[in-house]
Structure 1
Amino acid sequence: MNFRPTIAAFTAGVALAGCDFISRDRAKASPERPEVGVVTLHPRNVAISSELPGRIVASLVAEVRPQVAGIIQKRLFQEGGEVAEGAPLYQIDPAHYRAAHDSAFAALQKAEAAVPSARAKVERYQGLIKKNAVSTQDLEEAVGALAQARADVATAQANVASAKINLDYTTIKAPIGGRADKSSLTQGALVTAGQADTLTTIRTLDPIYVDLTRSSAALLDLRQAIDEGRVRSSERKVDVKLKLENGWVYPMTGRLEFTEAKVSQTTGTATVRVVFPNPSRLLLPGMYARAIVEEGVAPGAFLVPQRAVVRNVKGQATALVLGKDDKIEERTLSVGRTVGNNWLVTAGLGDGDRVVVEGLQLVRAGQPATGVEVVIDDATGDLREREPTTMKIQAKG
């Protein structure tokens, strides 16, 4: 049985059917009216934030040095541990200072013992002078002796206080609360008052500071945007998020403390300080971090996906918009900063405009097109989902 004519006829029929399908697809999505992906825009209040680099610093730092000379008898704290304000850190041999205190106290008692007799003598002379039994000079000398005795008491009291201070200084205490570094000296070491070498350093880690740097040009741009009404400054305290060196976002929110009232002549930047709670002591001084600072709100702005914005030959930002009559329009935009994977657009677009985000290469200004609504993933800038209808791929030949 010869099947060749049958196979040839079948093949010809399939070819004709295939050509018919391709013709129908071209009719649906012809080059004269291609399908494009669009995003419908609506104005909204956009939070304006900046990501600034900075370093973490302790909120308080105290370098511990001895205030009296002597031999260290004991170290009274755990190296690397937390110490409370006023907690004893070192004990210096107090024997010499205790003896000096006792001597000063004895001198005070001697001075106080001289006061009653000098006072009694003045009182006696005051009675005798009325009877002309003593001279005026004798009374004046008695009054002077009483004043001298009282002055001796005051001097002795000051000496006792000074000796007590030196004796107390033999116990070196923590001037602030925080985490103590390692000890630079051990038991038996000789220390002197006001020496250059520190015994240890204490840093307060909760709360902790993050010192950020910001260019003076960025500060001027923000002030200009606020003055022109493009950005509405927040009246509440500014919240700040922190991104650590490994990319992890710190779970607790900080607050803006102040912006330094000067700009560095060498770097052209100003310091911005942020305060963060640090109960777990995760943030340590010296760490590098980037802070996300909320600066204000741009009212009635549009967020346009970056993939939809291109630059023309004049360097202007432009976007293609599918108009009400389904014809492509080219718009010149006023763009500000980036917000995620979007451009912040303040002029050139209106409520309900359909911006072309897919198929830009298939259309030009004035050309009719069919718009298919798409959704852009803000995190990646890619298409997240599409309507069931997809863009047609034109067959060749």
Structure 2
Amino acid sequence: MTSPRPHRATLLAACAALALAGCDRKSATPPAPPPQMVTFVTVTSHPAPIHTELPGRTEAYEIAQVRPQVSGVLQKRLFTQGADVTVGQQLYQIDPAMYQAAYDADKAAVLHAQAALLTAQAKMRRYGPLAAAHAVSQQDYDDALAAEREAEADVAQAKANLEGAATNLSYTRVYAPIAGRIGRSISTVGALVTANQTQNIATITRLDPIYVDVNLPSSALIRLQQELAAGQLQRADANAATVGLTLEDGSPYPVAGKLEFAEVNVDESTATVVVRAIFANPDHLLLPGMFVHAEILEGTDPHAILVPQQALVRDVHGQASVMLVGADNKVVVRQVKADRAVGSNWIVNQGLNDGDRVIVTGLQKVRPGAVVKPVEAAADPGQADQGRAG
């Protein structure tokens, strides 16, 4: 019968070998993890156009509400509804009969007053030498002089009445006060209209050019003025900013406009200022009351540094910062000032220099001082995206 002792010895030796191997593994130092890979962009300063997009409404350049200035019955409508009219074009004819009669009566009154003046002047010419020779009394001379003066006043009064009658007669012909497109006729032929009525009988709207009114935050207006004064923004036209339009259907308006002026009062409820731009509208594509999006080109920042929005973080106090790939590929945190968004980027006004490598991806996996494996992004976002300011 074979003895089991050799098998026990072999088993004990194997266990001892395994225990020693386990002790060796526990005592070995684990290898360091490889550097975290991050993507960065190298920032450079370069000119960047600064836009602001705001909703707005179109407003007519001129509007004239046509109303009668004398009372009467409309005899004729002399324009085509919805057509363009010119300044001074006759639109309506009001029955002139009674105004023509008043004019004729006042004209006859002028002739009557002029005849009475001739009589008074002739009498005065006779009484002059007689009064000098004391052939007539001083009272008779004074009466003749007063009669002449009264006759002159009567002529002046009659002429004034005639001018009034002529004016009323001319008002029976209703003319276009401005050039533009006339709408529908509110009153029809045969209707009675009255002087100074509140209801207009037609409306003329000048469509070319046309205004666009937008509400700009007062803080943005102050910032814009300060940046222009400090030279941080430059304009091709020093007198006005260029404005583009996007129509309600999303299509761009083909003609650029110019910023004309800003209101002097701030709306207390919205803290905004009405800014008005003017656009050429030769095809009458824009009509008053349309909703549009105005894109104001405030100017060009000649030394803009843009970083992607995902690269910038803010703390609870609103302080912005970015992570950089520093010397020896170590992560560095840099506080920056970035108050304006441009498309998918931020404009950094302070804190960055040309050549800084800003980390854009992998931010959540790195800490300040950590060594990283940097990979440069495909393109500088400032050159790839010249977006719109918000």
Instruction: Classify the TM-score, shorter chain.
Output: 0.7 to 0.9
Count of aligned pairs between the two proteins: 351
Contact kept, 8 Å, 1:72 with 1:93, in 2: the verdict is: yes
1:31 positional shift:
6.2
1:140 positional shift:
1.6
CA RMSD of aligned residues (A): 2.5
Question: What TM-score, normalized to structure 2?
Answer: 0.82
**Where does 1:153-302 land on structure 2 (aligned, <5 Å)?**
153-223=155-225, 229=230, 231-232=232-233, 234=235, 235-302=238-305
**What amino acid is aligned across from residue 296 of structure 2 in structure 1?**
V
1:135 positional shift:
1.7
Which one of the candidate residues 49, 52, 66 is aligned to 1:50? Answer: 52
Question: What TM-score, normalized to structure 1?
Answer: 0.81
1:139 partner SS: helix
**Where does 1:95-114 land on structure 2 (aligned, <5 Å)?**
95-114=97-116
Gaps of at least 5 residues in structure 2 are: 1-31
Contact kept, 8 Å, 2:342 with 2:387, in 1: the verdict is: no
1:87 is the counterpart of 2:89 = yes
My pick for the range that moved more, 47-56 or 279-288, is 47-56
1:307 positional shift:
2.9
Contact kept, 8 Å, 1:327 with 1:369, in 2: the verdict is: no
Which residue of 2 is the match for residue 371 of structure 1?
375
The 1-side partners of 2:122 and 2:136 are apart by 15
The Cα offsets for residues 232-288 of structure 1, whole Å up to 9 and x where unpaired, read as 465432221222222222221222222111112333222111111111111111111
Higher radius of gyration, 1 or 2: 2
1:315 positional shift:
4.9
1:51 positional shift:
1.7
The structure-2 alpha-carbon separation of the partners of 1:185 and 1:149, relative to structure 1 and needing over 3 Å to count, comes to same
Contact kept, 8 Å, 1:231 with 1:296, in 2: the verdict is: no
**What amino acid is aligned across from residue 371 of structure 2 in structure 1?**
Q
**What amino acid is aligned across from residue 155 of structure 1 in structure 2?**
Q
**What amino acid is aligned across from residue 173 of structure 1 in structure 2?**
Y
Which residue of 2 is the match for residue 10 of structure 1?
none
Contact kept, 8 Å, 1:233 with 1:297, in 2: the verdict is: yes
1:70 positional shift:
0.7
**Where does 1:42-81 land on structure 2 (aligned, <5 Å)?**
42-81=44-83
Percentage of identical aligned residues:
46
The 1-side partners of 2:214 and 2:91 are apart by 34
1:373 positional shift:
4.2
2:372 partner SS: coil
**What amino acid is aligned across from residue 304 of structure 1 in structure 2?**
V
My pick for the range that moved more, 239-248 or 316-325, is 316-325
1:368 positional shift:
3.2
1:340 is the counterpart of 2:343 = yes
Which residue of 1 is the match for residue 126 of structure 2?
124
